[in-house]
């Protein structure tokens, strides 16, 4: 699709843009059904081993870092109890699937191509769009976790900064089930931190600006299924825990500009060949 001048202006002014009916019902169903099939085929350990804190951190860091270039499954924190047992059935335990299905999985790959995010990225200033990360987020009923206030350029840093996030509602997103919340015009504040590889092989946050978040209220971005929300990489956004009985599935894709420098110590090192 082509963005209008007004849409580009709104994005530049507010730091986000909402486009209703961006994706068809059949495309949404295809993505959700496919995710369900991937979860069918995924075999979590029946009982997760108990590690010491250090080992646990190392192994989850390792799984997380490898997910940059494969299709990994992450659990909702509340889906596993202190003894490592699942508290819910497998299909309700997954927080998200990520981070390279847009490159590796034919169903995601086709839909990403059909929706032509790269063209929208170009309209918003990216010279050479490169999709570096995708996520299928579930926000499970009753246990879907909170996502703390953050800026996406923290995780996908380039010099100069270029990240744009595309957040696609696969189901209705409401206050009850943890819709996105964002700070209007918040993309004008500096980037607060960078999440990067640390010297010991793990990950760490580097502080870039330690002023507190602005006190202004967040806008509640309640949207019907099929809506696309485009987020500027510096726009602070958040989502609350889902305590309702409905899931709130979303698909996200992040673009950066390949003409910018992508540091070797970014946590996410995308597949080199693509």
Ligand X SMILES: O=C(O)CCC(=O)C(=O)O
- Site size with ligand X, rule: CB under 6 A: 11
User: What binding mask, one character per residue, do residues 180-199 give for ligand X by CB under 6 A, x or -?
Assistant: x-------------------
- Tell me how many degrees the CA angle 20-98-132 measures, rounded to the nearest 5: 75
If you write DSSP's letter for every residue of 109-164 in order, what string do you get? HHHHHHHTHHHHHHHTT-SSEEEEEEEEE---TTTBPPEEEE-GGGTS--BS---E
Q: Are 247 and 177 in contact (CB under 8 A)?
A: yes
Q: Please tell me the distance from the alpha carbon of residue 274 to that of residue 269, in angstroms, as a whole number.
A: 12
Collapsing DSSP to helix, strand or coil, 272 comes out as coil
Figure out which of the listed residues 102, 192, 196, 237 binds ligand X, where binding follows CB under 6 A.
237
User: What binding mask, one character per residue, do residues 117-156 give for ligand X by CB under 6 A, x or -?
Assistant: --------------------x-x-------x----x----
Chain position whose Cβ is nearest to ligand X: 239
CB of 2 to ligand X, least distance (A): 25
Our measurement of the distance from residue 102's CA atom to the centroid of its chain's CA atoms, rounded to an integer in Å, reads 13
Nearer to ligand X, 58 or 174 (CB): 174
Binding flag, residue 239, ligand X (CB under 6 A): yes
Figure out which of the listed residues 93, 162, 177, 252 binds ligand X, where binding follows CB under 6 A.
252
Q: Which ranges in the chain belong to alpha helices (H)?
A: 5-14, 25-41, 53-66, 101-104, 106-115, 117-123
Binding flag, residue 171, ligand X (CB under 6 A): no
Q: Please tell me the distance from the alpha carbon of residue 109 to that of residue 105, in angstroms, as a whole number.
A: 6
CB of 106 to ligand X, least distance (A): 23
Nearer to ligand X, 27 or 140 (CB): 140
Figure out which of the listed residues 250, 253, 255, 260 binds ligand X, where binding follows CB under 6 A.
250
Q: Which residues bind ligand X (CB under 6 A)?
A: 137, 139, 147, 152, 165, 167, 180, 237, 239, 250, 252
């Amino acid at each position: 699709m082509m963005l209008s001048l007004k849409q580009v202006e709104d994005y530049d002014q507010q730091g986000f843009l909402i486009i209703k009916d961006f994706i068809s019902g059949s495309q949404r169903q295809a993505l959700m059904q496919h995710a369900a099939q991937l979860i069918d085929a995924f075999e979590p350990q029946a009982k997760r081993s108990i590690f010491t804190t250090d080992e646990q951190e190392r192994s989850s860091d390792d799984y997380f870092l490898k997910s940059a270039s494969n299709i990994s499954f992450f659990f909702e924190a509340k889906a596993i109890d202190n003894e490592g047992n699942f508290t819910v059935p497998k299909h309700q335990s997954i927080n998200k699937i990520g981070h390279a299905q847009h490159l590796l999985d034919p169903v995601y790959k086709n839909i990403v191509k059909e929706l032509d995010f790269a063209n929208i990225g170009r309209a918003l200033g990216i010279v050479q769009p490169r999709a570096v990360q995708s996520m299928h987020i579930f926000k499970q009923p009753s246990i879907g976790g909170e996502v703390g206030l953050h800026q996406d350029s923290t995780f996908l840093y380039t010099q100069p900064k270029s990240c744009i996030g595309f957040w696609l509602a696969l189901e209705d997103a409401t206050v009850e089930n943890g819709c996105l919340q964002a700070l209007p015009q918040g993309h004008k504040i500096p980037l607060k931190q960078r999440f990067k590889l640390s010297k010991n092989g793990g990950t760490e946050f580097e502080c870039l600006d330690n002023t507190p978040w602005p006190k202004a209220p967040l806008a509640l971005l309640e949207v019907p299924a099929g809506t696309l929300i485009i987020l500027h990489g510096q726009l602070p956004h958040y989502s609350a825990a889902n305590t309702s009985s409905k899931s709130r599935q979303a698909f996200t894709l992040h673009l950066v500009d390949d003409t910018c420098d992508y540091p070797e110590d970014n946590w996410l090192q995308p597949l080199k060949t693509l």
